[in-house]
Amino acid sequence: MLIKLSLSSLQATHWQEYAVRFALGGAATVLAGIVGARFGTAVGGLFLALPAIFCASATLVERHERRVKQKKELRGDRRGRQAAALDAAGAGLGSAGLVAFAALFSIVVPTSVLGAFIVALIAWGSVAVSMWLLRRNLRVTHHRSAVKRAPSAHGHSRFS
């Protein structure tokens, strides 16, 4: 799988979906600000670090995929759930990179702010891509082993 930028999905998204993402993302940010004002910036930062628009994004991805299938006179429930699950997996991988970013930034920032940003960005990208490759390789390995164990029509494994 190649990683590429595709702008065609922007045309398939309705303006109302962008409005929902914007509103929920803004509400999450305001909530983080309120929590930060009440309990301190460290706690507020944790809330701000949460993917502010993930919930809206997952819901909209699921709905969009279901709608595409329904236009072809199919139900699309399973496809929508799978698309939302894939979106969630990507958010998790990105979050692992964000943890690496935060850790390295906090270590390097006393020495150099610019250096901290550069090192942290490199770490974020490296960890996120490495996690993606690891997940991809594990999924391929898991799929191959499941195929080997799959029973045949006679109830026996293909390789037994």
CA distance 88 to 86: 5
23, 30 contact by CB (below 8 A):
no
CA angle 11/8/129 to nearest 5° reads 125
| Per-residue pLDDT, 95 | 79
pLDDT in tens, 75-86: 777 777 787 777
Kindly report, residue by residue over 51-75, the tens digit of the pLDDT: 555 666 677 777 777 777 777 777 7
CA–CA gap between residue 36 and residue 45 (Å, rounded) = 7
Higher pLDDT, 107 or 93: 107
Residue 156 is classified by DSSP as S
Give the whole-angstrom CA distance, residue 57 versus residue 66: 14
CA dihedral defined by 125, 131, 134, 135, rounded to 10 degrees?
-130
* Residue entry with tokens 């799929």: 143
Average pLDDT, rounded, for the chain: 76
**C-alpha–C-alpha distance, residues 137 and 141, integer Å:** 6
Q: Is the pLDDT of residue 111 over 90?
A: yes
